[in-house]
Amino acid sequence: MSNIEQTLSIIKPDAVERNLENEIKQIFKKNGFSILKEKKIQIEKSEAEKFYKVHETKPFYDDLCSYLSSGPIVAMVLEKKNAVLANRELMGATNPKDAEEGTIRKKYGISIDKNSIHGSDSVENAKIEINFFFNV
Helix residue ranges per DSSP H, the chain: 13-17, 21-30, 45-51, 61-68, 83-91, 104-108, 123-134
Establish whether 55 is a catalytic residue.
Answer: no
- Residue 4 CB-half CA count within 13 A: 8
Report how far apart the first and last C-alpha atoms of the chain are (Å, whole number): 32
**Is residue 77 close enough to count as binding ligand IDP by CB under 6 A?**
no
* Binding segment (CB under 6 A) for ligand IDP, from list 14-22, 70-78, 107-115, 122-130: 107-115
The answer to whether residue 118 forms part of the interface with ligand IDP (CB under 6 A) is yes
Residue among 109, 116, 118, 129 flagged as catalytic = 118
Q: Binding residues for ligand IDP, per CB under 6 A?
A: 55, 60, 64, 94, 112-113, 115, 118, 121
Catalytic residues: 118
